[in-house]
Homo-oligomer: A and B are copies of this chain.
Amino acid sequence: MLGLMQQRELLISSFLDYAEAYHPRVEVVSRLRDGTLHRIGWGGIADRARRLAQALQRLGIRRGARVATLAWNTHRHLELFFGVTGSGIVLHTVNPRLFPEQLRYIIDHAENGVVFFDVEFAGLVADLAPHLPTVHTYVALGVRDELPDLALPNLLAYEDLLAAEDGDFAWPMFDENSASSLCYTSGTTGNPKGVLYSHRSTVLHTFSLMAVDTMAISARETLLPCAPLFHVNCWGIPYAAAGTGAKLVLPGSRLDGESLWELLRDEGVTFAAAVPTVWLTLFAWMERQADLNPGALKLRRVLSGGTAVPRVVIDTLRDRFGATLLQAWGMTELSPLGTVGNLLPRHDALDEEARTALRLKQGRTIYGIELRVVDEAGRPLPRDGTSVGLIQARGPWVLSGYFKGDGGQAVDADGWFGTGDVGTLDADGFLTITDRAKDVVKSGGEWISSIELENLAVGHPAVQEAAVIAARHARWQERPLLLVTCKEGRSVTKAELLAFLAPKVAKWWLPDDVICVDAMPHTATGKVQKARLRSEYADWLERG
């Protein structure tokens, strides 16, 4: 027997409708290329998103087609988030920092017919264009006058497109399972894989972002997403901002300390989302200033994810800003949210040290996502905070497969997605990531965390960067090998480093060898390319 409730489709356009109806004058503030601030209300964003929808219609873009963006966090990119998806067209947000061959691969793989790009990326786009056979139209996100002289086929100016429309457009209703947006993972090996979100998955994920125990985004917040809009839909923040009518502050491409400080101070930011590097950059800038009073800011909560958060970020935000750092964990395949580090009522009784220990974990499992730890055979391990295994996820905002099936089977028969992360879950649902599955060192059947060893190694005053990889070993199958680069003018010996690590780890965790290298290989997104290190050094201990 079915219930007798309305079958309203869960569509992204409902967020913008809500913002326009009830919060039309709440501001979206954007840092433009020239450093000035642009202001528009949610009502204006909605009007322009509707004009964009009309322009897409006029350009003949059909539902289900994928259009690409190469853009920073500004109001125009935000308008694309709603105008494209609301039309039933798929928004493919491309990370402009990828290597050119990756950009060519994913734009081709996504079969993008239109590319919207910030004027900053005009040169990049011009270089790519000859290698993008599917693209028939380029739209520069600005006015015609701003455009450099580019030899691009069918080059249009975004503001001209919008000016030609009247905004008299109603968002269509369609199946909530329709694709809404597309993001590619930037893996360290193999081709990028596409994750194709649906309107339904996005709306459910956004509901979660509004929940107190998750991101608690509400009409009372002023949100500063430093995470790029092209990074997993900016963690879903643009949708939650519209669905609550929150004020939104978009920093453009300027994440330097001074620019950030100005936005925090002048716009009354209450909630910011950024990776730790952004905060470390801000703190470094602050040290060079006189008379700053971070305690007077309205900043109360900071969400961080993507990498473990150094303790200094947590402590500084708490002690100097009066703000709480919430560590979150997720990934492209999870829309991205799987955990957020909100503490529980009984943690109020803990001392600051114990509370900080919880904040150093990768967050607490949220309602809507199921997480579990399994061993290599796929058998569930206890959620006891100590059993290390592979982390699997399941839920209505977890992918079911990669775009076009390219990337292999994503989930098992029961719907579990192997995240590729290794770690523990505790009884409260707190997650601790100890490693990536492909980076863990399997020594005689026991696992050694490469991340933990790296974190300890960079604690040595001479070490700039550290990477631990598994080197083949006759007796133990694998043993840890530590590679380091040194800070300018500093050096360190193997004996010194091992002596530094010895009191900090179990004896059998100590690396079998230490190699000082001049430079580490990095991915386009700044991660150490461990795959490359492995191909170079996996046989190091066998070389004899």
Contacts and interface: CB of A to CB of B under 8 A. Distances in A.
B210 A219 contact: no
Given A22-B428, A207-B208, A213-B244, A196 B6 contact: no
A212 B3 CA distance: 28
Nearest to A213: B218
A1 B364 CA distance: 34
**Interface size for chain A: under 10, 10 to 19, 20 to 34, or 35 or more residues?**
35 or more
A398 interface: yes
A212 B204 contact: no
A200 B3 contact: yes
Contacts of A383: 21
Interface stretch (A176-184, A502-510, A535-543): A176-184
B210 A6 contact: no
Contacts of A15: 367
Nearest to A180: B3
B6 A411 contact: yes
Interface stretch (A70-78, A399-407, A462-470): A399-407
B396 A10 contact: yes
Contacts of A220: 212-213, 344-345
B6 A342 contact: no
A8 interface: yes
Contacts of A368: 14
Given A2-B177, A367-B244, A403-B4, A211 B218 contact: yes
A18 interface: yes
A90 interface: yes
Q: Which of A10, A342, A396 has the most CB of B within 10 A?
A: A396
A527 B402 CA distance: 57
B213 A212 contact: no
A198 interface: yes
A216 B221 CA distance: 14
Given A3-B180, A4-B403, A21-B365, 6 more contacts: A3-B178, A5-B201, A21-B383, A211-B218, A212-B218, A212-B244
Interface of A: 1-8, 10, 14-15, 18, 21-22, 63-64, 90, 175, 177-180, 195-201, 204, 207-208, 210-213, 216-220, 243-244, 335, 342, 344-345, 364-365, 367-368, 383, 394-403, 411, 415, 427-429
